Each structure stands twice: as C-alpha cells, then as structure tokens.
Amino acid sequence: MKKKVHISQCAELDILFEDIVSQYGTLILPKGAVINEYIIQKLKEFGIEYVYIFDRNREKIFPDYESFEERFDENIDKIKYLMNEIIRGKKLDYNELNRITDDVIVAWDNPEYVMNYLKKIHDKDDYTYYHCINVSFYSALIASYLKLPKEEIKTVIQAALLHDLGKVKIPLELLNKKEKLTVEEFNEIKKHAVYGYEIVKNDDEILDAIKDVILMHHEREDKSGYPLGLSGEELSIYSKIVSVADVYDAMTSNRPYRKALTPFDAFNEFVNISRNNLDIRIVNILTSRLSSYYTGSQVLLNNGEVGRIVYIPPHCIQKPVVSIGKDFVDLSKEDNISIIKMI
C-alpha cells in the first residue's frame, strides 16, 4: 500500500501516504497531498529526505477515471431507486446499500477521481441524490481520519447516503425555487428530517444510529438546529460528521438560488460560521484533509490569470500558492489577488 522513497525519486502526482511533520511538531504537508516540483523543493528546504507515498503499482479497483465515473453514475441511479422504493413503503435493500458503501470506501484509494467526480455537473432535479453521494465521500474521509473502526465507518457512510431521504417527499419546485423562500416554504423543507425518520423508524434492519442521523443531521451544537433543538452533547458522532459534510457540500455546490463558493472561500466561511453550531474539531479535520487534494487544480484568479495550485500551507489553507507560467504567487502575501473559480 505504501512505499518509502527518497524525495529525489518522487514524481509529479505521487500522493503522500502520511503526514510530514517538522522536528518541532508542526505539520508541513498532510497525508493525501499531491507531489509536485514546488513541494519537492519545499521538502528539501525542510531537510526531509525520505517520504512515504501510495504505491501506484498496487492493484486498482478503478483502472481509470472513466470506470470510476461510470460506477458512481450507476450508484447515483441505485441510490435514487433505493430512496424512492423506501418512500413507496418497500424495505431497504441492504445488500445494494452495502455495495454502494464499499464503493465509497475504496473510492478514496484514488482521491483525484473523487475530487473530479465532486465537480461533476448534474441535472438540478437529481441534486438530492448527488448530494447524498457527495456527503458520503466527505463523511468517509472524516471518519477514516477519526480512526473509527471499519464497521462504524460503514455506518457513517450509510447514514450519509440516506440522510436526506425525506427530501424525496418535498416537491421539486420547492427544492429548486430560485426566489427567496417564504417562512412557510422553508418550514416545509425543514420537515424532510422528520419525514425521513418517519419512513425508516419501523424498519428493523436499519440501524438506530442511521435513523438518528436522518432525524438529527440539521441539529446544531448550540441548540439552534431542527427539528428537536438538541445540544451537541445529545448528538452522536455520526450525526456530527454528516452535518459537517452536508454543510460543506451545500456551500460548494451550485444551487438554483446561489452559485457555489470556491473551496477556499468555503474553508474561510465554514470555519467562521460553524464555530458555534458545528463540531469545530470535525470541521477542521474535513477542511485540512480535503485542502491537500486541491493541489494541482487549475484556478481562475480575480486578475483574469489562470494558474495551478502548487502548495496549500497547512496553517493557512484558504490562501494557496499558485503557479502562473514560471512564477509562483503566494496568495497569503497578496491581499488583492484571490481565486474566483475552480476550472
């Protein structure tokens, strides 16, 4: 799975297998960072000689991105079918849910494929199903970094896949409304948590932990959430993980009433707005771990130039270093330059 290499043998696009920490204990590069020339230079400056990278010769479940995309497009159809069947009163097909769960677990063997898939444009009417798959990707990432046991990671993923089940009962014209929602309309959408719970509560095969997430993924640490106004102490780790993943995906997705935030704007806003109402430790895990996977992404800057992210400093993930031609622009030192779009 992992291979130790001298940094002179690191190649572009190798993926770091574990965190690189300085002799003073500060994080230099997180696990998952994609290696490039800039990073190799940086490691040399820190006196790092050897690193562990993912062994690219290992057997791959998904040989290329096309096969990955095809599989997850099928999974979108499957989750859509599963959710609609449950709404119609059928029992949950657990075998099918388990198969999708296994795909989500192995998906992170190829983080570049996951990141690419998360950018996929989809029909707005299918938003709920893509959202559930996206939230399961983020939840799997958080759960694995929390080092939850394998069975619990599966539970988190399944809870994420089903968390918005109740949305299937909400009229699409309400979910896709461009104009500001009235109080009554917003209250109707909020009911999806209870609708979902009502549908699954008598299904003995569905774990109580999953039923709780369906009911509680909009509860907040400071009791400001719905439907019950519970406090952080009353929420399970599963609910906390899915809540964070849910909010991040909502912020970074295009919606009929607003455009998606870039991940870097979302990191900034996410930490600020969620300080009191989401579990900040989980927010920090998601943002720090996810940020490393944006290395290598092409971006459009507000000065019109197109660049490529070469380094994301762990202490300031919202301000990456971007290469433009042969120059490097460190956004943490340029107040007037920012990323306005991921390409």
Give the footprint of Fe ion on this chain (CB under 5 A). Answer: 164
Q: Which is nearer to Fe ion, 42 or 218 (CB)?
A: 218
DSSP classification of residue 135: H
- Residue 222 has phi, psi (to 5 degrees) of -95, 20
Q: Which is nearer to Fe ion, 111 or 166 (CB)?
A: 166
* Cα 314 from chain centre: 18
Tokens at residue 257, please? Answer: 């009433």
d(CA 209, CA 74): 26
Which SS3 state, helix, strand or coil, does residue 8 take?
helix
Closest contact distance (angstroms) between CB of 161 and Fe ion is: 13
Q: Which is nearer to Fe ion, 168 or 301 (CB)?
A: 168
Residue 1, judged by CB atoms within 10 A of its CB (0-12, 13-18, 19+), counts as exposed
Which SS3 state, helix, strand or coil, does residue 103 take?
helix
Yes or no: say if 215 and 197 are a contact pair by the CB < 8 Å rule. Answer: yes
d(CA 191, CA 128): 15
Q: Which is nearer to Fe ion, 53 or 161 (CB)?
A: 161
Yes or no: say if 249 and 266 are a contact pair by the CB < 8 Å rule. Answer: no
Tokens at residue 304, please? Answer: 């019109």
d(CA 194, CA 115): 31
Q: Which is nearer to Fe ion, 164 or 219 (CB)?
A: 164
Q: Which is nearer to Fe ion, 140 or 242 (CB)?
A: 242
Closest contact distance (angstroms) between CB of 47 and Fe ion is: 47
Closest contact distance (angstroms) between CB of 291 and Fe ion is: 25
d(CA 183, CA 189): 10
- Which of 303, 307, 290, 291 is CA-nearest to residue 342? 307
Torsion of CA 100, 102, 104, 110, to 10 degrees: -130
Closest contact distance (angstroms) between CB of 34 and Fe ion is: 32
Closest contact distance (angstroms) between CB of 189 and Fe ion is: 9
Q: Which is nearer to Fe ion, 217 or 319 (CB)?
A: 217
Closest contact distance (angstroms) between CB of 149 and Fe ion is: 26
Closest contact distance (angstroms) between CB of 164 and Fe ion is: 5
Residue nearest Fe ion (C-beta atom): 164
